[in-house]
Amino acid sequence: MKLSKSEEELMNHIWQLNKAFMKDLLEAYPEPKPATTTVATLLKRMADKGFVGYNLLGNAREYFPLVKKKDYFSKHLNGLIKNFFNNSATQFASFFTKETDLSKEELEELRALIDTELKNK
């Protein structure tokens, strides 16, 4: 399941904080901050989708992520590769290295990562 752009922004705050009350989430936003009702609606939708859970502490809810950021990003990226690059990681890597403004040092870091993965296979 996918999050909307607004939900992703809120989810990033939850991932960063790990556990947060409504006031913590509102403080995490830059100005202009969204209305409390907007954040509450987003949290409800995200809970319904299975992305966040909460513990009731008195009248307050402490929210926490149910999905790891890495898992969400990985699924998102794999869908992108499938839909836009004919399910070819090689086509994606080619596009990524040619169309982004990577420095020589960054390309060398990528090569080192690939070399490490090749050794581990």
Residues 73 and 105 reside in one and the same domain: yes
Q: Which of 49, 65, 81 is the last residue of a domain?
A: 65
Q: How high is the pLDDT of residue 96?
A: 84
Residue range(s) defining the domain that contains residue 58: 5-65
Same-domain pairing of 20 and 50: yes
- 11-33 average pLDDT score: 96
CB burial class (10 A; 0-12, 13-18, 19+) of residue 44?
A: exposed
| Residues 79 and 31 occupy one common structural domain | no
Does 61 share its domain with 76? no
* pLDDT given for residue 94 in this prediction: 87
Provide mean pLDDT across the span 3-32: 96
Q: Which of 46, 65, 84 corresponds to the end of one domain?
A: 65
- Which tens digits make up the pLDDT trace of 39-72? 999 999 999 999 999 999 999 999 999 999 999 9
Q: What is the CATH number of the domain that holds 42?
A: 1.10.10.10
Confidence class of residue 6 from pLDDT cuts 50, 70 and 90? very high
The residue from 20, 40, 65 where one domain ends is 65
Are 43 and 85 contained in the same domain? no
The SS3 of residue 51 is coil
pLDDT per residue as tens digits for the range 74-84: 988 888 888 88
Q: Which of 32, 8, 36 is nearest to 24 (CA)?
A: 36
In this structure, the answer to whether residues 12 and 27 fall within a common structural domain is yes
Question: Which residues touch 22 (CB under 8 Å, ≥6 apart)?
Answer: 36, 39, 40, 43, 60, 61, 63
Note the pLDDT of residue 4. Answer: 93
Task: Report the alpha-carbon distance of residue 95 to residue 99 in Å, rounded.
Answer: 6
